[in-house]
Amino acid sequence: MRKAVPLFLAILLYHSKFSLAKPPSPPLPVLPVPSSSQLKWQRREIIMFFHFGVNTFTNSEWGTGHESPTIFNPTALNTTQWISAASALGVSLVILTAKHHDGFCLWPSRYTHHSVALSPWHGGKGDVVSNFVNAAHAGGIDVGLYLSPWDRHEKSYGLDVPYNEYYLGQLYELLTNYGSISEIWFDGAKGANATNMTYYFKDWFGMTKQLQGSINIFSDAGPDLRWVGDEKGAAGETCWSQINRTSLRIGDASLERYLNTGDPRGTDWVPPECDVSIRPGWFWHETEKPKPLNQLIDIYYKSVGRNCVLLLNVPPNTTGLVSEIDVKRLRQFRLAIDKIFKEDIARGSIVKASSERGGKNGSFAASNVVDGDEETYWAPEEEKKGSYWIELCGLNQTAKFNVVRIQEMISMGQRIRRHEVYVDGKAVVRNGTTVGHKRLHRLEQPMRAKSVRIRIPESRGPPLLSVVGLHFDPFKPWVSTNTL
């Protein structure tokens, strides 16, 4: 009995000491890091664009600015139907072309007559922007707007001060009359009679941030989101979220490659958005059809699977509705993504790593990559260059996989410069460069394995992984036949 007391005390002491032990603090971020609005945007993964306006009725892609507003006459416009199309794909943000290059405004701007106010639609009392925003918000979906700087109708276009004032006036209307706007879209397109005119981007950006504090501004050069450099929906195989804004110029085609890949040494966090249309054109044309499902899946791998957000355009038709064939394709696309990623054979597997900050049972354990929570992550100790690795062991060997999903904890900065995927300790099945928010590797052959190892030979500081997933994709890869 007398002997039992000190033992009991020793156990008590051990446990109290254990519970008082401080967990290791998180590692330092590697700058630059995203803002909260940029992080929210990145996690949306797919967003949607609606190109709609006079071009819809003239069967063209670029209007002249000389269209009569009376041609704008959708017989049964229903933006709630557009939003249910967006919901079919499961997107959380939709963007509307409030004004395209033709200068026709989908809202009754007080600064021009070239708008819905002079159209027969709703007897000139309608406002497509307002309908759109209300329908989206009613469906729990955020909105964005595109206001084309190039304006082929406006008389002051080409004259620096008058046109920039006109543009700011319209921008003010859009940013103050329609509630919360989550993204604004600017491009640098210019008319031939305006090559000497300057778009006052700094003024536009300044007013935008003043009126909508949590908005993301998209343009070729950010400040928040950048163009990916093509309209095919494909990012570079190397794709950094960071870039040097000082090297960017809006509307400069020579920068497309730099935009496509970003810059590991970039000082600014300006992640790329991949804009592509579900159809050949951006506006609706009777003779066009949506892209086949396997092409959309391919676009998903090349955009979302390369650290980008996919901005998919779906043009409403002259009735003012998204055609049923497009809605059906959107629904198929969502079902396909869910089918591929619902099952994850890595989930719950045993995970080993080159090291774990705070040890095996700490908050940065390797097992965080298979816990189904994107907010937890594996952090290694600071190691020698090239020695970082993580390995999923004891995998279900009857389950096949042909997709490897790797996700970095980008809130702490994008770090990985090179990575390699090994199966069963031997062959490298895939080499890659950047990872970022999400990197998807589609393997040529389905595999079964006991273990999968990710080796990280090069990174900016210790790599922080939030997820490693293994999936089976039953869809046939898209092969372009457009090589004539």
How far apart CA 251 and CA 23 sit, in angstroms, is: 50
Q: Of 29 and 348, which has the nearer Cβ to ligand NAG? A: 348
Q: Of 158 and 461, which has the nearer Cβ to ligand NAG? A: 158
Element spanning 341, H or E: helix 324-342
Nearest Cα neighbor of 71 from 60, 82, 80, 79 is 60
Q: How far is the CB of 17 from ligand NAG (least distance, A)?
A: 13
DSSP 458: E
Q: How far is the CB of 90 from ligand NAG (least distance, A)?
A: 16
For residue 46, which amino acid is it? I
| Residue nearest to ligand NAG according to CB distances in the complex | 158
Q: How far is the CB of 1 from ligand NAG (least distance, A)?
A: 29
| Strand locations in 229-297 (E) | 242-243, 268-269, 272-277
Residues that bind ligand NAG (CB under 6 A): 65, 78, 80-81, 84, 152, 154-155, 157-159, 191, 193, 195-196, 244, 247, 263, 265-267, 317-319, 321, 323-324, 359-361, 396, 398-399, 428-431
Q: Of 317 and 376, which has the nearer Cβ to ligand NAG? A: 317
Q: What angle do CA 139, 140, 142 make, to 5 degrees?
A: 110
Nearest Cα neighbor of 459 from 429, 428, 440, 436 is 436
Q: How far is the CB of 187 from ligand NAG (least distance, A)?
A: 17
Q: Of 323 and 433, which has the nearer Cβ to ligand NAG? A: 323
Q: Give me the residues paired with residue 142 across strands.
A: 93
Q: Of 128 and 181, which has the nearer Cβ to ligand NAG? A: 128
Q: How far is the CB of 127 from ligand NAG (least distance, A)?
A: 16
Q: Of 197 and 409, which has the nearer Cβ to ligand NAG? A: 197
How many H helices and E strands in the chain?
Answer: 10, 18
How many Cβ atoms sit within 10 Å of the Cβ of residue 380? 22
Q: How far is the CB of 456 from ligand NAG (least distance, A)?
A: 13
Coil, helix or strand for 184? Answer: strand
Q: Give me the residues paired with residue 115 across strands.
A: 105
